[in-house]
Amino acid sequence: MKHLILSAVLFFISFMAIAQNDRFHTSFIEDFADSTSLYFRYGSTGNKTPFKYKLGVHSLTQPKTKILSFKIDPADSAGAGRGPEIISKDFTHFGTYATRLRVPRVKDIQPNVGAVVGYFTYHVDSIAGLSEIDFEWLIADPTIIYIGTWTGPTGALKRIGRTINLAKGVIYNTIYREDHTGIRTPLSGAQNQPQSISAIPDYDASSNFYTYGFDWYPDRIRWWILHPSTGEKIVLWNYQGSIRGIPQNPSHYRMNFWHTNKWSVETNGKSIEKPLRPYELEIDWMSYDPFKIK
pLDDT over threshold 60, residue 2? no
Degrees to nearest 5, angle at CA 215 with 92 and 124: 40
Per residue in 26-35, pLDDT (tens digit) is 999 999 999 9
What letters, b where the CB count within 10 A reaches 16 and e where it falls short, cover 95-109? bbbbbbbbbbbbeee
pLDDT of residue 293: 76
Task: Tell me the pLDDT band of 19, cut-offs 50, 70 and 90.
Answer: very low
pLDDT at residue 24 tops 50: yes
- Has residue 6 got a pLDDT over 50? no
On average, the pLDDT of the chain sits at 93
83-98 per-position pLDDT tens digit: 999 999 999 999 999 9
178-191 tens-digit pLDDT: 987 888 999 999 99
Residue 204 has pLDDT above 80, yes or no: yes
Report which DSSP code applies to 50: G
CA 172 vs CA 142, 162, 193, 264, 267: distances in Å: 15, 7, 14, 15, 10
DSSP code per residue over 160-193: EEEEEETTTTEEEEEEEEETTTSPPEE--GGGG-
Cα angle for residues 71, 265, 143 (degrees, 5° grid): 75
For residue 292, what pLDDT is reported? 87
Other Cβ atoms closer than 10 A to 186? 10
**pLDDT greater at residue 3 or residue 286:** 286
pLDDT at 5 over 70: no
Of 6-20, 57-71, 124-138, the range with the lowest mean pLDDT is: 6-20
Cα gap 21→212, rounded to integer Å: 31
Per-residue pLDDT, 179: 83
Q: Which of 54, 149, 31, 201 is nearest to 101 (CA)?
A: 31
Per-residue pLDDT tens over the stretch 146-180: 999 999 998 899 999 999 999 999 999 999 999 87
Q: Pick the more confident residue, 4 or 157.
A: 157
Give me the residues paired with residue 278 across strands: none
First-last CA distance in the chain:
21
Does residue 18 register a pLDDT over 90? no
User: Which residue type sits at 87?
Assistant: I
Q: What single-letter DSSP state applies at residue 7? A: H
Other residues' Cβ atoms within 10 Å of the Cβ of residue 57: 16
Predicted confidence (pLDDT) at residue 208 exceeds the cutoff of 70: yes
Q: What's the pLDDT at 294?
A: 65
Output the pLDDT for position 9. Answer: 42
Average pLDDT over residues 201-214: 97
Find out whether 65 and 59 touch, Cβ atoms under 8 Å: yes
Distance in angstroms (rounded) separating the CA atoms of residues 256 and 99: 13
Q: Over pLDDT 90: what percentage of the chain?
A: 88
pLDDT tens digit sequence for 116-141: 999 999 999 988 899 999 999 999 99
Residues 238-257 have pLDDT tens digits of 999 999 999 999 999 999 99
Q: For 92, which DSSP code? A: B
What domains are defined for the chain? 2-290 (2.60.120.200)
pLDDT at 111 exceeding the cut of 80: yes
pLDDT for position 37: 98
